[in-house]
Structure 1
Amino acid sequence: MPRSLSESKIIRDLADDLRGHLVRKAIRALQVMPVNGLLSGDDSGLANVWDEICVQLQIEQSLYWSAYEQVIYAFVVAYVDELQLHELEAIWLITEQGEDWDCELEKEREPDPVLKDDVVEYVVGCVYQAALDWTNERIRRFLDLQYMD
């Protein structure tokens, strides 16, 4: 079946690729941060901050969740700051705000509605979703121990 050229499909594909790249980059950065006495404890079996974030989102966020949130936001903001303008705009177009803007009548649209904060929130949400879906042997073992108590 021949593929037809579509500007919106090209933008969506580009934005999805960029979003995926930013999420993977954030995950890798969190995976190299050692646990070293984090909330789950030294004997938790969790190896890095990413493992800790995954179990907190999959079970229950601790009272200190905001510290993890700050780290995630710091990485994502730094990565979004590195984007070229057209990359930022492409990702923004797939955010809820971008999709709403795209549905407006062209003559009623704000001419430059792109906000970096919208993109940061969107990417952070994608990092959270990845953490909810993520598993490995350490996380499974930790969760099994939590449910046994």
Structure 2
Amino acid sequence: MTVERQLIRDLAATLRAQVAGLVVKDLEEMLEGLSDDSGLANVWEEFCVQVQGEHSFFWETYLEIVEDFVVGHIDELPLAMQRVLSMGTDVGDGWLDDPEEGGVVPIFADDVAVMLSSDVLALAADFESPSIERYKARGYEGD
């Protein structure tokens, strides 16, 4: 692996973690969610419960909310950072094998959004809190 490629991967990983963290923060700030009387603190915890257990009737809505936040944060990044994230995808990594001479580095927006949404899903799968544990203990399997 070239030094340049390693730098791109390292920077892309840093950006991915930052954007995923911003999405988590956005969801934590949404105090009124889709579940009624769940005892969960916010939409982030509702999403975590969905990821860690059975999906509720609202699963697609949760995914849309996450994707909207992901896309919004990507769009706020400088173009150079969007390109770095794009090169961090499988498609972008493949493009690096045979870049166009003198061409512009492309942005694979859909692939970036999927990659970052997957990062948020992974964070949700591992997230724990007392209110989530109480929710699970009551035997809820989705709302």
TM-score normalised by L of structure 1:
0.82
- For residues 83-131 of structure 1, the C-alpha deviation after alignment (integer angstroms, 9 at most, x for no partner) is 11111111111212122323x44579x9644221211111111111111
C-alpha separation between the residues in 1 aligned to 2:46 and 2:76?
A: 27
Q: Which residue of 2 aligns with 1:13?
A: 10
Aligned pair count reads 138
1:143 lines up with 2:139 in the alignment: no
Unpaired stretches in structure 1, ≥5 consecutive residues:
none
Cα distance between partner residues in 1 of 2:137 and 2:88: 37
Please tell me the root mean square deviation across aligned C-alpha atoms, in Å.
2.2
Unpaired segments of 5 or more residues in structure 2? Answer: none
Q: Which amino acid aligns with 2:111?
A: D
Taking a change above 3 Å as real, the CA distance of residues 63 and 105 of structure 1, as seen in their structure-2 partners, is same
1:61 and 2:55 matched: yes
Q: Which amino acid aligns with 1:94?
A: G
Q: 2:22 aligns with which of 13, 20, 25?
A: 25
Matched residue of 1:62: which SS? coil
TM-score scaled to structure 2, two decimals?
A: 0.85
On the 8 A contact 2:74/2:82 being kept in 1, the answer is yes
Larger Rg: 1
The share of aligned pairs that are identical, in percent, is 36
- State yes or no: 1:128 paired with 2:121: yes
Deviating above 2 A after TM superposition, structure 1's stretches of 4 or more consecutive aligned residues are: 99-102, 104-108, 110-114
What amino acid is the match of 2:118? G
